[in-house]
Amino acid sequence: MADNTTGPIGGKTVLVTGGTGGIGKATATGLAALGARVGIVGRDTQRARSAAADIVRESGNSSVDVFVADLSAQAEVRRLAAEVLDRLRRLDALVNNVGGFWATRHTTADGLEHTFAVNHLAPFLLTHLLLDRLTASAPARIVTVSSGAQAMGRIDFDDLQGEKKYSGQRAYNQSKLANVLFTYELARRLEGTDVTATVLHPGVTRTAFAAEDPTPGMKTLTAAVRPFMKTPARGAATPIFAASSPYVEGVTGVYFANRKAKKSSKRSYDREAAARLWTVSEQLAGLNAAKR
Ligand SMILES: NC(=O)c1ccc[n+]([C@@H]2O[C@H](COP(=O)([O-])OP(=O)(O)OC[C@H]3O[C@@H](n4cnc5c(N)ncnc54)[C@H](OP(=O)(O)O)[C@@H]3O)[C@@H](O)[C@H]2O)c1
Protein backbone atom coordinates (compact mmCIF):
# COMPACT_ATOMS: atom_id res chain seq x y z
CA MET A 1 0.00 0.00 0.00
CA ALA A 2 1.87 3.06 -1.24
CA ASP A 3 0.85 6.28 0.46
CA ASN A 4 2.39 9.44 1.78
CA THR A 5 4.38 7.57 4.45
CA THR A 6 6.20 5.39 1.94
CA GLY A 7 8.61 6.33 -0.79
CA PRO A 8 10.07 4.63 -3.85
CA ILE A 9 12.66 1.99 -2.97
CA GLY A 10 14.09 1.13 -6.39
CA GLY A 11 17.45 -0.63 -6.16
CA LYS A 12 16.60 -2.20 -2.78
CA THR A 13 16.17 -5.92 -2.21
CA VAL A 14 13.73 -7.25 0.38
CA LEU A 15 13.05 -10.81 1.52
CA VAL A 16 9.54 -11.53 2.86
CA THR A 17 8.98 -14.88 4.54
CA GLY A 18 5.49 -16.23 3.94
CA GLY A 19 5.17 -14.07 0.85
CA THR A 20 2.87 -16.61 -0.80
CA GLY A 21 -0.34 -15.67 0.98
CA GLY A 22 -2.06 -13.40 3.47
CA ILE A 23 -0.23 -10.39 4.88
CA GLY A 24 3.16 -11.52 3.53
CA LYS A 25 1.97 -11.68 -0.06
CA ALA A 26 0.34 -8.25 0.22
CA THR A 27 3.55 -6.91 1.81
CA ALA A 28 5.66 -8.32 -1.03
CA THR A 29 3.23 -6.85 -3.59
CA GLY A 30 3.35 -3.43 -1.95
CA LEU A 31 7.14 -3.42 -1.74
CA ALA A 32 7.44 -4.58 -5.35
CA ALA A 33 5.06 -1.76 -6.38
CA LEU A 34 7.45 0.67 -4.68
CA GLY A 35 10.23 -0.65 -6.91
CA ALA A 36 12.02 -3.18 -4.71
CA ARG A 37 13.36 -6.50 -5.88
CA VAL A 38 11.39 -8.89 -3.68
CA GLY A 39 12.12 -12.45 -2.60
CA ILE A 40 9.24 -14.50 -1.24
CA VAL A 41 9.38 -17.70 0.80
CA GLY A 42 6.72 -20.42 1.03
CA ARG A 43 6.56 -24.18 1.51
CA ASP A 44 5.14 -25.23 -1.83
CA THR A 45 6.75 -24.58 -5.23
CA GLN A 46 3.50 -24.28 -7.17
CA ARG A 47 1.89 -21.96 -4.62
CA ALA A 48 5.03 -19.83 -4.47
CA ARG A 49 5.31 -19.56 -8.26
CA SER A 50 1.66 -18.69 -8.59
CA ALA A 51 1.99 -16.02 -5.85
CA ALA A 52 5.06 -14.58 -7.61
CA ALA A 53 3.07 -14.33 -10.88
CA ASP A 54 0.29 -12.47 -9.01
CA ILE A 55 2.83 -10.11 -7.40
CA VAL A 56 4.44 -9.35 -10.79
CA ARG A 57 1.04 -8.70 -12.35
CA GLU A 58 -0.31 -6.56 -9.51
CA SER A 59 2.87 -4.54 -8.90
CA GLY A 60 4.06 -4.19 -12.48
CA ASN A 61 7.52 -5.21 -11.23
CA SER A 62 9.04 -8.41 -12.62
CA SER A 63 11.87 -8.61 -10.05
CA VAL A 64 10.37 -11.29 -7.85
CA ASP A 65 12.47 -14.22 -6.61
CA VAL A 66 10.88 -17.43 -5.36
CA PHE A 67 12.35 -19.44 -2.48
CA VAL A 68 10.83 -22.67 -1.24
CA ALA A 69 11.50 -23.79 2.32
CA ASP A 70 9.58 -25.15 5.29
CA LEU A 71 10.72 -22.88 8.10
CA SER A 72 9.57 -25.34 10.76
CA ALA A 73 12.76 -27.33 10.09
CA GLN A 74 16.08 -25.75 11.01
CA ALA A 75 17.88 -27.57 8.20
CA GLU A 76 15.46 -25.87 5.80
CA VAL A 77 16.07 -22.46 7.37
CA ARG A 78 19.81 -23.01 6.90
CA ARG A 79 19.34 -24.19 3.30
CA LEU A 80 17.11 -21.17 2.60
CA ALA A 81 19.70 -18.78 4.05
CA ALA A 82 22.45 -20.31 1.91
CA GLU A 83 20.26 -19.97 -1.20
CA VAL A 84 19.38 -16.37 -0.37
CA LEU A 85 23.05 -15.50 0.13
CA ASP A 86 23.82 -17.13 -3.20
CA ARG A 87 21.04 -15.50 -5.20
CA LEU A 88 20.58 -12.08 -3.58
CA ARG A 89 23.77 -10.05 -3.73
CA ARG A 90 22.32 -7.45 -1.38
CA LEU A 91 19.62 -7.51 1.26
CA ASP A 92 18.21 -4.18 2.39
CA ALA A 93 15.34 -5.54 4.43
CA LEU A 94 14.25 -8.86 5.90
CA VAL A 95 10.57 -9.15 6.79
CA ASN A 96 10.09 -12.08 9.18
CA ASN A 97 6.40 -12.54 8.54
CA VAL A 98 5.75 -16.31 8.74
CA GLY A 99 3.70 -17.21 11.76
CA GLY A 100 0.68 -19.20 12.71
CA PHE A 101 -1.59 -20.70 15.33
CA TRP A 102 -2.06 -24.40 16.04
CA ALA A 103 -4.77 -25.48 18.46
CA THR A 104 -3.10 -28.80 19.24
CA ARG A 105 0.54 -29.52 20.03
CA HIS A 106 2.65 -30.58 17.06
CA THR A 107 6.37 -31.21 16.95
CA THR A 108 8.78 -30.32 14.18
CA ALA A 109 11.46 -32.41 12.46
CA ASP A 110 13.81 -31.09 15.19
CA GLY A 111 11.47 -32.34 17.93
CA LEU A 112 10.48 -28.79 18.93
CA GLU A 113 7.00 -27.48 19.59
CA HIS A 114 5.71 -26.14 16.24
CA THR A 115 4.47 -22.67 17.28
CA PHE A 116 7.67 -21.79 19.11
CA ALA A 117 9.79 -23.21 16.27
CA VAL A 118 8.00 -21.48 13.37
CA ASN A 119 6.97 -18.19 14.99
CA HIS A 120 10.12 -17.51 17.04
CA LEU A 121 13.07 -19.82 16.39
CA ALA A 122 12.84 -19.69 12.58
CA PRO A 123 13.06 -15.87 12.35
CA PHE A 124 15.70 -15.91 15.10
CA LEU A 125 17.88 -18.33 13.12
CA LEU A 126 17.20 -16.82 9.69
CA THR A 127 18.06 -13.34 10.96
CA HIS A 128 21.36 -14.59 12.35
CA LEU A 129 22.25 -16.35 9.12
CA LEU A 130 21.45 -13.29 6.97
CA LEU A 131 22.86 -10.63 9.29
CA ASP A 132 26.23 -10.26 7.56
CA ARG A 133 24.52 -9.66 4.19
CA LEU A 134 22.15 -7.12 5.80
CA THR A 135 25.09 -5.38 7.46
CA ALA A 136 27.02 -5.31 4.18
CA SER A 137 23.95 -3.71 2.51
CA ALA A 138 23.35 -1.17 5.31
CA PRO A 139 21.36 0.91 5.94
CA ALA A 140 19.22 -2.19 6.36
CA ARG A 141 16.12 -3.19 8.30
CA ILE A 142 14.94 -6.32 10.08
CA VAL A 143 11.18 -6.25 10.52
CA THR A 144 9.38 -8.96 12.49
CA VAL A 145 5.64 -9.43 12.35
CA SER A 146 4.29 -9.99 15.86
CA SER A 147 0.70 -9.44 16.95
CA GLY A 148 -1.42 -7.62 19.48
CA ALA A 149 -1.42 -11.05 21.16
CA GLN A 150 2.06 -10.17 22.48
CA ALA A 151 0.22 -8.22 25.18
CA MET A 152 -1.20 -11.48 26.60
CA GLY A 153 2.07 -13.38 26.25
CA ARG A 154 4.25 -14.77 29.01
CA ILE A 155 7.52 -16.59 28.45
CA ASP A 156 7.32 -19.80 30.44
CA PHE A 157 11.01 -20.68 30.75
CA ASP A 158 10.06 -23.83 32.67
CA ASP A 159 7.90 -25.10 29.82
CA LEU A 160 8.86 -23.21 26.64
CA GLN A 161 7.79 -26.13 24.46
CA GLY A 162 4.40 -26.68 26.10
CA GLU A 163 5.41 -30.20 27.10
CA LYS A 164 3.75 -30.07 30.52
CA LYS A 165 0.69 -28.17 29.38
CA TYR A 166 -0.23 -26.99 25.89
CA SER A 167 -2.75 -24.44 24.79
CA GLY A 168 -2.70 -23.05 21.23
CA GLN A 169 -3.51 -19.57 22.48
CA ARG A 170 -0.85 -19.65 25.19
CA ALA A 171 1.76 -20.91 22.70
CA TYR A 172 0.78 -18.23 20.17
CA ASN A 173 0.81 -15.41 22.75
CA GLN A 174 4.20 -16.57 24.04
CA SER A 175 5.67 -16.72 20.52
CA LYS A 176 4.42 -13.23 19.67
CA LEU A 177 5.90 -11.82 22.89
CA ALA A 178 9.11 -13.66 21.93
CA ASN A 179 9.07 -11.73 18.61
CA VAL A 180 9.06 -8.45 20.55
CA LEU A 181 11.69 -9.51 23.12
CA PHE A 182 13.89 -10.78 20.26
CA THR A 183 13.57 -7.51 18.35
CA TYR A 184 14.38 -5.30 21.34
CA GLU A 185 17.41 -7.45 22.24
CA LEU A 186 18.53 -7.50 18.59
CA ALA A 187 18.23 -3.70 18.40
CA ARG A 188 20.44 -3.41 21.50
CA ARG A 189 23.00 -5.78 20.01
CA LEU A 190 22.97 -3.87 16.69
CA GLU A 191 23.52 -0.49 18.33
CA GLY A 192 26.17 1.46 16.46
CA THR A 193 25.50 -0.39 13.20
CA ASP A 194 23.26 0.88 10.45
CA VAL A 195 20.92 -2.11 10.75
CA THR A 196 17.61 -1.54 12.54
CA ALA A 197 15.22 -4.01 14.13
CA THR A 198 11.53 -3.26 14.51
CA VAL A 199 8.47 -5.35 15.29
CA LEU A 200 4.80 -4.79 14.61
CA HIS A 201 1.14 -5.71 14.88
CA PRO A 202 -0.44 -5.78 11.41
CA GLY A 203 -4.02 -5.60 12.70
CA VAL A 204 -6.68 -8.28 12.56
CA THR A 205 -6.63 -9.29 8.91
CA ARG A 206 -8.65 -11.57 6.59
CA THR A 207 -6.16 -14.32 5.74
CA ALA A 208 -5.72 -18.09 6.02
CA PHE A 209 -4.44 -17.57 9.57
CA ALA A 210 -5.02 -20.59 11.89
CA ALA A 211 -6.70 -22.57 9.07
CA GLU A 212 -4.37 -25.57 9.47
CA ASP A 213 -5.47 -26.45 13.01
CA PRO A 214 -8.15 -24.15 14.39
CA THR A 215 -9.75 -24.48 17.81
CA PRO A 216 -13.35 -25.80 17.80
CA GLY A 217 -15.70 -22.94 17.03
CA MET A 218 -12.91 -20.75 15.66
CA LYS A 219 -14.09 -21.15 12.04
CA THR A 220 -17.62 -20.00 12.91
CA LEU A 221 -16.30 -17.09 14.94
CA THR A 222 -13.85 -16.08 12.20
CA ALA A 223 -16.58 -16.29 9.54
CA ALA A 224 -18.75 -13.98 11.67
CA VAL A 225 -16.08 -11.32 12.13
CA ARG A 226 -14.47 -11.71 8.66
CA PRO A 227 -16.35 -8.74 7.15
CA PHE A 228 -14.89 -6.50 9.87
CA MET A 229 -11.30 -7.63 9.38
CA LYS A 230 -8.70 -5.69 7.41
CA THR A 231 -8.04 -6.73 3.83
CA PRO A 232 -4.54 -8.22 3.35
CA ALA A 233 -3.50 -4.98 1.60
CA ARG A 234 -4.48 -2.98 4.70
CA GLY A 235 -2.85 -5.56 6.98
CA ALA A 236 0.34 -5.09 4.95
CA ALA A 237 0.42 -1.32 5.46
CA THR A 238 2.44 -1.45 8.69
CA PRO A 239 4.97 -4.09 7.49
CA ILE A 240 5.50 -2.06 4.28
CA PHE A 241 5.88 1.11 6.35
CA ALA A 242 8.44 -0.52 8.68
CA ALA A 243 10.41 -2.05 5.80
CA SER A 244 10.49 0.96 3.52
CA SER A 245 9.30 4.28 4.86
CA PRO A 246 11.83 7.11 4.98
CA TYR A 247 9.97 8.27 8.11
CA VAL A 248 11.44 5.37 10.08
CA GLU A 249 14.97 5.43 8.65
CA GLY A 250 17.28 4.71 11.57
CA VAL A 251 14.39 3.93 13.95
CA THR A 252 15.16 0.79 15.93
CA GLY A 253 13.87 -1.21 18.88
CA VAL A 254 10.32 0.01 18.28
CA TYR A 255 6.89 -1.70 18.11
CA PHE A 256 4.52 -0.38 15.44
CA ALA A 257 0.77 -0.69 15.01
CA ASN A 258 -1.20 1.24 12.41
CA ARG A 259 2.10 2.70 11.14
CA LYS A 260 2.75 4.37 14.48
CA ALA A 261 5.20 3.61 17.26
CA LYS A 262 3.29 2.13 20.19
CA LYS A 263 4.18 0.80 23.60
CA SER A 264 4.25 -2.98 23.70
CA SER A 265 3.44 -5.01 26.81
CA LYS A 266 5.27 -4.35 30.07
CA ARG A 267 6.81 -7.84 29.89
CA SER A 268 8.33 -7.08 26.48
CA TYR A 269 10.67 -4.49 28.08
CA ASP A 270 12.12 -7.04 30.53
CA ARG A 271 15.79 -7.02 29.51
CA GLU A 272 16.66 -9.98 31.67
CA ALA A 273 13.97 -12.11 30.03
CA ALA A 274 15.10 -10.93 26.57
CA ALA A 275 18.72 -11.88 27.26
CA ARG A 276 17.67 -15.24 28.71
CA LEU A 277 15.40 -15.98 25.75
CA TRP A 278 18.27 -15.07 23.40
CA THR A 279 20.61 -17.56 25.07
CA VAL A 280 18.02 -20.35 25.12
CA SER A 281 17.15 -19.63 21.48
CA GLU A 282 20.81 -19.79 20.45
CA GLN A 283 21.03 -23.21 22.06
CA LEU A 284 17.77 -24.47 20.55
CA ALA A 285 18.72 -23.16 17.10
CA GLY A 286 22.17 -24.75 17.31
CA LEU A 287 23.82 -21.35 17.06
CA ASN A 288 27.14 -20.55 18.57
CA ALA A 289 30.04 -18.43 17.39
CA ALA A 290 31.73 -21.38 15.69
CA LYS A 291 28.65 -22.42 13.71
CA ARG A 292 27.48 -18.97 12.53
N1 LIG B 1 -4.15 -12.39 10.20
C2 LIG B 1 -4.19 -11.72 11.32
O3 LIG B 1 -5.26 -11.25 11.77
C4 LIG B 1 -2.93 -11.46 12.11
C5 LIG B 1 -3.02 -10.64 13.25
C6 LIG B 1 -1.87 -10.39 13.98
C7 LIG B 1 -0.66 -10.93 13.57
N8 LIG B 1 -0.61 -11.72 12.46
C9 LIG B 1 0.69 -12.26 12.06
O10 LIG B 1 0.90 -11.98 10.69
C11 LIG B 1 1.77 -12.97 10.12
C12 LIG B 1 1.19 -13.47 8.81
O13 LIG B 1 -0.05 -14.06 9.10
P14 LIG B 1 -1.20 -14.30 8.01
O15 LIG B 1 -2.47 -13.99 8.70
O16 LIG B 1 -0.86 -13.61 6.74
O17 LIG B 1 -1.10 -15.89 7.86
P18 LIG B 1 -1.43 -16.85 6.62
O19 LIG B 1 -2.51 -16.31 5.76
O20 LIG B 1 -1.64 -18.19 7.27
O21 LIG B 1 -0.08 -16.85 5.78
C22 LIG B 1 1.04 -17.49 6.28
C23 LIG B 1 2.16 -17.43 5.24
O24 LIG B 1 3.28 -18.10 5.82
C25 LIG B 1 3.65 -19.19 4.99
N26 LIG B 1 4.04 -20.29 5.87
C27 LIG B 1 3.32 -20.85 6.86
N28 LIG B 1 4.03 -21.81 7.47
C29 LIG B 1 5.24 -21.83 6.86
C30 LIG B 1 6.41 -22.59 7.04
N31 LIG B 1 6.48 -23.56 7.98
N32 LIG B 1 7.48 -22.36 6.25
C33 LIG B 1 7.42 -21.40 5.28
N34 LIG B 1 6.33 -20.64 5.06
C35 LIG B 1 5.25 -20.86 5.84
C36 LIG B 1 2.44 -19.51 4.14
O37 LIG B 1 2.89 -20.00 2.91
P38 LIG B 1 2.58 -21.46 2.32
O39 LIG B 1 1.28 -21.92 2.92
O40 LIG B 1 2.52 -21.20 0.84
O41 LIG B 1 3.76 -22.27 2.73
C42 LIG B 1 1.84 -18.12 3.95
O43 LIG B 1 2.52 -17.43 2.91
C44 LIG B 1 1.94 -14.04 11.20
O45 LIG B 1 3.19 -13.86 11.84
C46 LIG B 1 0.81 -13.77 12.18
O47 LIG B 1 1.12 -14.18 13.49
C48 LIG B 1 -1.72 -12.01 11.72
For 196-248, the pLDDT digits (tens) are 999 999 999 998 887 888 888 777 777 788 888 899 999 999 999 999 999 99
Q: If DSSP codes are grouped into helix, strand and coil, which group holds residue 112? A: coil
**Residue in 172, 184, 247, 255 annotated catalytic:** 172
* pLDDT tens-place string over residues 259-271: 999 999 999 999 9
Question: What are phi and psi for residue 159, nearest 5 degrees?
Answer: -155, 55
* H runs (alpha helix) in 89-167: 114-115, 122-136
Query: If we measure between CA atoms, which residue out of 48, 120, 124 comes closest to residue 81?
Result: 124
**Residue nearest atom 20 in ligand 1 by C-alpha distance:** 209
Distance 22 CA to ligand 1 centre (A): 6
Decide: 241 and 145 in contact? Cβ < 8 Å.
Answer: no
> What are the angstrom distances between the C-alpha of 105 and each of 84, 90, 125, 172, 229?
31, 38, 22, 11, 27
Between the CA of 174 and the centroid of ligand 1 the distance, in Å, is: 16
Residue 184 is a catalytic residue: no
Per-residue buried b or exposed e for 159-171, using 16+ beta carbons within 10 Å of the residue's own CB: ebbbeeebebebb
| pLDDT classification of 4: cutoffs 50, 70, 90 | low
Residue of 76, 98, 258 to mutate, ligand 1, most atoms within 8 A of C-beta: 98
Q: Is the CB–ligand 1 distance for residue 20 below 6 Å?
A: yes
The gap from C-alpha 106 to its chain's centroid, in whole angstroms, comes to 20
230 lines ligand 1 (CB under 6 A): no
What share of the chain in percent tops pLDDT 70?
96
Residue 188 DSSP class? H
Quote the ligand 1 centre to 25 CA distance (angstroms): 9
At 81-111, the pLDDT tens digits run 999 999 999 999 999 999 999 999 999 999 9
In this predicted structure, what is the pLDDT of residue 3? 59
Cβ(233) – ligand 1 distance below 6 Å = no
pLDDT in tens, 21-39: 999 999 999 999 999 999 9
C-alpha angle 258/264/269, rounded to 5°?
Answer: 150
Question: What mean pLDDT comes out for the span 10-26?
Answer: 96
Report whether 127 contacts 236 (CB < 8 A).
no
The pTM of the full predicted model, rounded to 2 decimals, is 0.96
Q: How far apart are CA 148 and CA 176, in angstroms?
A: 8
Does residue 291 carry a pLDDT above 50? no
CA of 232 to the centre of ligand 1 (A): 11
Nearest atom in ligand 1 to 25's CA:
43
